[in-house]
Amino acid sequence: MRLSNLLPRQASACIVFSCLAAQASAYFQVSSPSSGAQWTNGETYAVTWIKGVNDGITAFDLELARLGNDGLIYVARDVPCVKGSTPAINLAFVDVPPADDYFILFLNSTPGTVFATSDHFSILSSSSSSSSSSSSESSSPNPSAPTVTVSGPPNLTKAFVTTFPASNGASLPPIVELSGRLVGLGTMMLTGVLGAVWTLR
């Protein structure tokens, strides 16, 4: 096989692998609440997630928002999500206004970087009975996770309900955090060099 026939295939493979490496480091998915879930005031539910291991995110902030109304409920600041921590936080709802357009933001509120958002879900009044996913096992409280009590309507003048301590020494070393990005960058540079060699031949 001639080198000139092999280079385009290798260049294409390098581009695909670099794109996959970039995607793998940015993976953050919310498992619960699921779309259409109905959670009830007076009950406690688990918010759960799955995220990339080497994405450099060691903590995030949690905010409760609505599509139809302005305002946020600042739920928790610096929720730990390092390797080995429980990927869940329990939310207990007390007198939160009932509505069907709530969603949860997972973000770093300092620069405003949003990592993920949950599907839309409903919060029902305590007198309502829910037969849908509110009683499902996936949204049951996680005994290993901390519980935060969320109460009242959105209020931008209130601080976060809970602030977790910073994870001293729990974050990954900078070289490990950057390894995925460095692999992607190296692959892109190699692809550029191979493309230049191919063009000059």
User: What does the pLDDT look like over 152-194, one tens digit per residue?
Assistant: 988 888 899 989 887 644 444 444 445 556 666 777 777 878 8
One domain, residues 126 and 199: no
Of 75-79, 118-122, 182-186, 189-193, the range with the lowest mean pLDDT is 182-186
Query: Residue 19 domain-assigned?
Result: no
Q: Are residues 57 and 108 in the same domain?
A: yes
Please, which pLDDT band fits residue 9 given cuts at 50, 70 and 90? low
pTM here? 0.66
Residues 101 and 149 in one domain: yes
Domain count within the chain = 2
- Note whether residue 14 is domain-resident: no
> Based on the domain organization, do 188 and 89 belong to the same domain?
no
Q: Judging by beta carbons within 10 Å of its beta carbon (0-12, 13-18, 19+), is residue 74 exposed, middle or buried?
A: buried
On whether both 152 and 126 belong to a single domain, the answer is yes
The count of C-alpha atoms lying within 13 angstroms of the C-alpha of 175, restricted to the half-sphere facing its C-beta, is 0
Determine, yes or no, domain membership for 131: yes
